[in-house]
Structure 1
Amino acid sequence: MTAAKMVAEARRTLGMSGRPNAITRENASRHGDAYLRASWCDMAITYWVRHSGNAKAVLPGRD
């Protein structure tokens, strides 16, 4: 769990555009279909946190 892992995860999504995409789909699976077409800048951070192994440090009380 490091910031470097989170940055590396963010780099994997460089160039991603449009909706739905991998980030909005993951959030929609957790919170409902409204997330498929929502603005995803905040969702991206949560996605990177989860995929980099930093969820416990950044999202206390959530997985």
Structure 2
Amino acid sequence: MARLIESLSRSVELLSIEIEHEEARTGVYNLSAVTYPVLARSLRARKHNLRITIASLEAQFHATEAA
């Protein structure tokens, strides 16, 4: 499970880079702006979901270790 968590964490890092790139490409950094890139918005949602998944997996991993 540790490898999965590590892999997902790396995916979060890559998504952060992709978001930064898309924001820089369009010149729009304000998430609430109407012109904020759709791609960056969807990447942010994916990143958020991965963070939730990682937190859940870490909790399960630590519970398993404690048992």
**Fold match by TM threshold 0.5:** no
Q: Greater Rg, structure 1 or structure 2? A: 2
Higher helix share: 2
